[in-house]
A and B are shown apart, each in its own frame.
Chain A
Amino acid sequence: MNDFFLWMSMILGLLVLVCLYRGVFGPGFLNRIVAVNVIGTKIVVIMTLMGFIYQRVDMFVDISLAYALLNFIGTLTAAKYLERRGML
């Protein structure tokens, strides 16, 4: 089961690298915000899987919860700023 979790987190890491293309070369500001949100959700899942791989789930779950909260707040702040001030 440990090898299975390792393979799944490697596949998710490759998907993060594919998403990073849209984050770097994406036309405009909004595509980059969407890419950052997607990468954050994937990172939360990868971090919980890492906790199962390293046998320390009780520590990694707290970090992943805090990361999910920060990801949501960051995306919401950028979206509200663009809504009030207009497109950059």
Chain B
Amino acid sequence: MILEILSGLQVIIGVFLFASGTLGLIRLPDFYCRMHATGKCDTLGALLVLTGLAIYNGFNLVSLKIIFIVAFIFVANPTATHAIGRAALVNHVKPWTKEPSLAGQEEKRG
């Protein structure tokens, strides 16, 4: 009973994190801002949901496989986000700034 409540709570928190990451992907103004929103919220959301499912399943081989998926996502998702950000930075994609005049001055100075 306690384990079911714990796993349900973890799944609910993970789905909330997925929803906030999706909100950031839709609403934020720039490519870098969207990547900043999704790169963290998705990793933590998948980690929480899958760990809750592993707790609900109990201690056996399937649970070990779920923990392996969690470890893989925890390593691979930030790596993919870093690779996309590096590809954007190499191709001179300009970050979004609040005041366009100030950005122009900095560009002239640089």
Report Cα–Cα, A4/B38, bound state, in Å.
25
Interface flags for B75-90 (1: CB within 8 Å of A; 0: not) read: 0110111011011101
- Which A residue sits closest to B30, measured CB to CB? A31
Q: A12-B18, A31-B31, A34-B34 given as contacts; is B72 within 8 A of A45 (CB)?
A: no
Query: For the side of the interface on A, what is the size category?
Result: 35 or more
> Is B69 at the interface (CB under 8 A from chain A)?
yes
Task: Please tell me if the beta carbons of A30 and B84 are within 8 angstroms of each other in the complex.
Answer: yes
Majority DSSP secondary structure for residues of A touching B? helix
Task: Please tell me if the beta carbons of A28 and B31 are within 8 angstroms of each other in the complex.
Answer: yes
- Which B residue sits closest to A64, measured CB to CB? B69
Nearest Cβ in chain A — how far from B3, in angstroms? Answer: 11
Task: Please tell me if the beta carbons of B72 and A48 are within 8 angstroms of each other in the complex.
Answer: no
Report Cα–Cα, A29/B90, bound state, in Å.
14
Nearest Cβ in chain B — how far from A38, in angstroms? Answer: 5
Nearest Cβ in chain B — how far from A46, in angstroms? Answer: 10
Task: Please tell me if the beta carbons of B91 and A65 are within 8 angstroms of each other in the complex.
Answer: no
Instruction: For B43, list chain A residues within 8 Å (CB).
Output: 41
Q: A30-B88, A34-B34, A79-B86 given as contacts; is B80 within 8 A of A42 (CB)?
A: no
Task: Please tell me if the beta carbons of A79 and B69 are within 8 angstroms of each other in the complex.
Answer: no
> Is B15 at the interface (CB under 8 A from chain A)?
yes
